Amino acid sequence: MIEALASTLAPGRRGPFGAHAVAGGVNLALWSDHALAIDWCLFDAGGTQELARHRLHRDDDGVFHGFLAGAGPGLVYGLRVDGPRGPHAPREGHRFNPAKLLLDPWAREIVGTFGWRPEHHGYTLGQSPFDTVDERDNAATALKARVAPPRPPAARGRAPRHAPAARVLYEVHVKSFSMCHAGIPPALRGTYAALAHPAAIAHFQRLGVTTLSLLPVQYRLSEPLMPPGLVNHWGYNTLGFFSPDPRFAQQPDDPTAVADEFRAMVAALHDAGLEVVMDVVYNHTPEGNHFGPTLSFRGLDQASWYRVATDGTLVDYTHCGNTVNVAHPRVADFVAESLAFWVREMGVDGFRFDLAPVLARGADGAFERDGAFFRRLQAEPALDGALLIAEPWDGGPRGYRVGGFPPPWQEWNDRFRDAARGFWLGKPGPHGPITRRELAARLAGSPELYAGDGRPPTSGVNFVAVHDGFTLADLVAYAHKHNHANGEGNRDGRDDELSANFGAEGQTDDPAIAATRAAVQRALLATLLLAQGTPMLLAGDEFGHSQQGNNNAWNQDNALGWLDWPRADDALTAFVAQLLALRREGALGAPATWHEAPLRAFALDDDAPECLALRCAGWLLALNPDPHPRPLPPEALEGATWALALDTAACAPAGPAEALAPRAVRLLRRVAAS
């Protein structure tokens, strides 16, 4: 009860940042380089009525703190921050407005339901954000933080640790995976519990994947002015970096229960031998550009949290309106603390960083491969051994950084995607024609990208499809995107994505076209799952999931965006499981080092009459993208007796040395030297 709390606020500890229940009360600490005063505003349990307000104590280095005796878990609160507010302050990057209640950036629990209302803006909506001020109090509808109960650390001893060469990633959206899954009880579908349900675990284990790569699961906001019925389904718009997304919980209105459900999911997946990686978005926030609302970071200290241009507008390296200023040491600390929280308290095994170069840009905006961000994460004890995977491009200058991250980072390798698609679809990639030598380099782990500085062959995360783009089934069925359902006139999504329809756009009853599409799907899957490097499979590609040609289904929280289990191709699922079983046997070596299992390529010239072949560690892989058969290179077969391990052609060959069928992959296993 509020009556039991101290009437005055004592000085508190300077850390950890955020509000934490400690012996005798709650300690709040946070920082702002430019704020002059911060009020700690206390609310009733429903977050509707402000009951008390306390001025935090300020140290000379910008750390604000206070200790509230008698308080404990469940305390609901917000922040009001005052700072420079003169006529020139907005052009200097300051957007302080004490009329706006702010969410604590370190909030472990978030209460309330957010709506895009004019009063959440610090200026008069429709007018200049540099010349007007909105003095309305937005507390009634603002999100609030709630003090979380102390939790024991996650049981990390239960977490599996797969060898890098054995790891197989599976990119999956928590809700989309289970919404149409008949084997999961309807009441559970779409939840954290559903992803760890025995039916889901049985599917993951049948496939042979080792590591789930979850689309964002931190607390997010949907964008304003969305067309009716559409929301930000993928979740790349994080506001609460210490709070799991309540959308996927069975008890979404209880933040404590949401966190417990997330921890239970991770623990169950760990018990099943599955690692958990989560997609994180530390590059921007929902506060948008200089016309955006004042929800948290902007009101606390925009000039420190964001990259601000000299005219007071926000630098946008993300194409989302703002860029988090990770070059600021305390912002880098915030990112490291958030990551450590998800490992230590929530139990996850690693992270995939959206638009990762943003995080490594220095004060001048240049990418710093040996910069402070990487050193800060390396110094965080909880991150020792955590998987760190970069999306190695952003929207800023020289933002394409494939091959540019330091060890032990891994990277999404879009060069593999483009080479594999271009080779099998017969189309050039964005870097030029896809030659046999180009594909051979990708199958060999992309050594020119990763071998030079001692990074292992597993550094590149290979994929042929991911969440943002065509699914595997669609990239062989559509030559053009069909994104009209997104409400943007088909203007969103990539226009130049490598795809082909093989004679008809979309669904067809033509058996020849259907057979060609099926052959190319199998060939692409074999190329992905037998290549050196770390493979990543998009959820649903193992059974032919289609999004009807939509290559940007970010706002489709409906049947279009959910995995279409009723139409799942079980034979294709079995084929994927077979490929991963062969990978575990050592197909192409799956080497941990570049010298452990060197790969030899044959018929590398594009005009060679034979098909491309690669030989490594007692295995031979042959690939024929053409619409007619091609013989295997005789020299590739020399010195060994071979047995057929796999052939993607619809009709099995009479023998291992028989000509390779059109649009097919063959894997041979050496059974004896000759």
Q: Judge whether 405 and 455 are in contact, CB under 8 Å.
A: no
Q: In what order do the strands lie in the sheet with 18-22?
A: 18-22, 25-31, 63-69, 57-58
* DSSP per position, 250-295: SSTT-HHHHHHHHHHHHHHHHHTT-EEEEEE--S--TT-STTS--S
Q: Judge whether 441 and 517 are in contact, CB under 8 Å.
A: no
Backbone angles phi and psi of 162, in degrees to 5: -80, 145
* DSSP per position, 64-120: EEEEEET--TT-EEEEEEE---STTTGGGT----TTS-B--TT-SEEES-----GGG
Q: Is 186 exposed, middle or buried (0-12, 13-18, 19+ CB in 10 A)?
A: exposed
Q: Judge whether 641 and 674 are in contact, CB under 8 Å.
A: yes
| CA angle (412 as vertex; 408, 416 as ends), nearest 5 | 120
Q: Judge whether 121 and 133 are in contact, CB under 8 Å.
A: no
- The verdict on whether 391 is a catalytic residue reads yes
Q: Is 3 exposed, middle or buried (0-12, 13-18, 19+ CB in 10 A)?
A: exposed
Q: Judge whether 565 and 182 are in contact, CB under 8 Å.
A: yes
C-alpha–C-alpha distance, residues 457 and 442, integer Å: 11
Query: Tokens 């570049």 map to which residue?
Result: 594
Cα–Cα nearest to 230, from 488, 419, 33, 426: 488
Q: Which two tokens stand for residue 596?
A: 């452990």
Query: How far is the CA of 657 from the CAs of 55, 548, 618, in angstroms?
Result: 80, 39, 15
Query: What number of H helices and E strands is found in the chain?
Result: 14, 24
Q: Judge whether 212 and 275 are in contact, CB under 8 Å.
A: yes
**Cβ neighbours of 507 (radius 10 Å):** 11
C-alpha–C-alpha distance, residues 272 and 275, integer Å: 9
Q: 199-219 b/e with 16+ CB inside 10 Å = b?
A: ebbebbeebbbbbbbbbbbbb
C-alpha–C-alpha distance, residues 295 and 278, integer Å: 24
Q: Which two tokens stand for residue 483?
A: 């994104």
Q: Judge whether 54 and 25 are in contact, CB under 8 Å.
A: no
- The verdict on whether 488 is a catalytic residue reads no
Q: Judge whether 218 and 280 are in contact, CB under 8 Å.
A: yes
Of 50, 261, 391, 541, which is the active-site residue? 391
Q: Which two tokens stand for residue 182?
A: 């008949």
C-alpha–C-alpha distance, residues 160 and 275, integer Å: 6
Q: Judge whether 486 and 191 are in contact, CB under 8 Å.
A: no
C-alpha–C-alpha distance, residues 263 and 276, integer Å: 11
Of 134, 245, 279, 354, which is the active-site residue? 354
Q: Judge whether 353 and 390 are in contact, CB under 8 Å.
A: yes
Q: Judge whether 529 and 208 are in contact, CB under 8 Å.
A: no
Q: Judge whether 407 and 422 are in contact, CB under 8 Å.
A: no
List residues with catalytic annotation: 354, 391
